[in-house]
């Protein structure tokens, strides 16, 4: 069962999405400097993909703290879908990423070509997004996306 989802809630999500192999759960941030999280789970509730990000609307700066997808789910457009979800809340942001894996070093340039956004590897964020002291949202008010 995914983190923060009660047994009944998880059962209900699966019942309302009987054919979905991948179930998207959104954990919104609870404070301005908290990150937002999307977890993608299989029907057994195991996390197989996650995106952690935050945006400072004042400074037009976005930070991708983590994007991770299991090998079996890669190359299916899932990373693209997650990233576009994060980007929709603040078009025109300057984006930075944490250290990029070899896969991400191919992924982010492809997303730059598609979206026109730049994803600076280990770039500097504004003072409102403290990468070293970031916190993660408690799993509350979950909604599937």
Cα–Cα distance between 73 and 22 in angstroms, integer? 10
Q: How confident is the model at residue 140 (pLDDT cuts 50, 70, 90)?
A: very low
Q: Are 64 and 83 in contact (CB under 8 A)?
A: yes
Cα–Cα distance between 145 and 143 in angstroms, integer? 6
Q: Does residue 49 sit in helix, strand or coil?
A: strand
pLDDT at 139 over 60: no
Please give the residue range of the domain that contains residue 70.
Answer: 7-144
Q: In the block, which residue shows the tokens 């693209």? A: 80
Cα–Cα distance between 98 and 21 in angstroms, integer? 29
User: What is the pLDDT at residue 115?
Assistant: 92
Domain count, the chain: 1
CATH of the domain at 82: 3.40.630.30
pTM, rounded to two decimals: 0.84
Cα–Cα distance between 103 and 32 in angstroms, integer? 30
Q: Return the sign of the alpha-carbon dihedral for residues 68, 69, 71, 77.
A: negative
Model confidence over 54-111: pLDDT tens digits?
888 888 888 898 899 999 998 889 999 999 999 987 788 889 888 778 888 888 899 9
Q: Quick check: is 103 in a domain?
A: yes
Q: Report, as an integer, the average pLDDT of 112-117.
A: 91
Q: Report, as an integer, the average pLDDT of 20-27.
A: 88
Model confidence over 26-57: pLDDT tens digits?
887 766 667 888 899 999 999 899 998 888 88
Q: Quick check: is 1 in a domain?
A: no
């Amino acid at each position: 069962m995914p983190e923060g989802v009660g047994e009944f809630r998880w059962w209900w999500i699966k019942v309302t999405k009987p054919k979905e192999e991948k179930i998207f759960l959104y954990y919104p941030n609870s404070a301005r400097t908290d990150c937002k999280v999307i977890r993608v789970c299989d029907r057994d509730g195991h996390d197989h993909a996650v995106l952690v990000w935050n945006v400072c609307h004042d400074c037009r700066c976005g930070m991708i703290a983590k994007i991770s997808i299991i090998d079996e789910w890669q190359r299916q457009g899932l990373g693209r879908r997650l990233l576009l979800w994060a980007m929709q809340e603040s078009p025109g942001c300057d984006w930075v990423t944490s250290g990029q894996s070899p896969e991400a070093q191919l992924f982010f340039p492809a997303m730059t070509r598609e979206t026109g956004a730049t994803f600076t590897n280990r770039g500097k964020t504004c003072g409102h997004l403290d990468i070293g002291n970031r916190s993660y949202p408690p799993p509350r008010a979950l909604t599937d996306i």
